[in-house]
Structure formats: structure tokens, C-alpha cells
Amino acid sequence: MSVRRVRPDDVPTVLGLVRELAAYEQAEHEAQMTAGQLHEALFDTAPALFGHVALTPDGEVAGFALWFLTFSTWRGTHGIHLEDLFVSPAHRGTGLGRELLRTLAQECVDRGFARLEWSVLDWNTPSIEFYRAAGAVPMEGWTVHRLTGDALSTFAADVRARS
């Protein structure tokens, strides 16, 4: 088992795994990213998205982690926000997910980052148990908020909101 950074030739496979994740989360209709968008986000001249893939012993990409940098104004250092971590169902329980998460933790340690954080759906008990077994704790008292679609456009266009 091994983990390495995403390479350009991994993009179609990672995109397929993103679609598997969307199906697992019952949100297939929301997964609209194209291979071109993923490639550009990961490999543009100034990428804002980073990724790792987990490989089976025969070299098959069986999982991925996509992440980006955050910054803690309280700690004065960067951190990593894990956007998605997914291991194909056929390869769960093999340690690939743990190795992906461990690799990101090591990335934080090596770079002097303050934290590794992510969100998990409340109903996703297997993932919650996996993360707790790694020592992660939920951020009680915090709720994720999001502006998207029409609400995002409407609010951005509201001149009163800019004053």
C-alpha cells in the first residue's frame, strides 16, 4: 500500500472516484466537476487544490484525498482543509484511507501547519468512527454555512451589503 501526490494522468480516475463519492453521499446530481476543471485546479501555474492518491499493491488508484490550504489567524500558521477523502468500497478496510489521512497529517507536521480539518456528514457513521479512531474530535458548537447558486449571486449583487 502506498500514497503519492496526484499526477496529471490520475485525473480521470480521481474524477471517477469523486462521482462514486457523490453517489455514496446521495448527491450525484451535485457532482458537476469536469476532468478539465480538476486538472486546472491541481496543475495550473498557481494551484489552489492539492491531492494524493492511494494505490493498491498492484498500482491501481483506489482512493484519493483532495485538499487546500487554510490559515489560522489565531495560530498564525497555515493548515490543511481536507475537501474529500474517499476509498473505493472494494478497498475499504485495507488501511488505504488511514494512510491517506496519515499522509496529510505528516504534511502538516513537516510544514509546521497548525491543523488538519474537514467536514463529515452527520449520518456517515462509518467515517465518523474512522476519524475518531484516528484521534480527531468534532468541533462542537460550530456549524458550516454556505452561499451558493442564486443566493451567492444575489448577495454579491446587493450594493447595500458592500457598505
Catalytic residues: 131
How far is 105 from 128, CA to CA, in rounded Å?
A: 17
Residue 126 three-state SS = helix
Residue-wise DSSP of 25-47: TT-GGG----HHHHHHHHHSSS-
Residues 63, 66, 71, 72, CA torsion sign: negative
3-state helix, strand, coil in the chain (%, to 5): 45, 20, 35
> Which residues, in sequence order, are bridge partners of residue 80?
69, 116
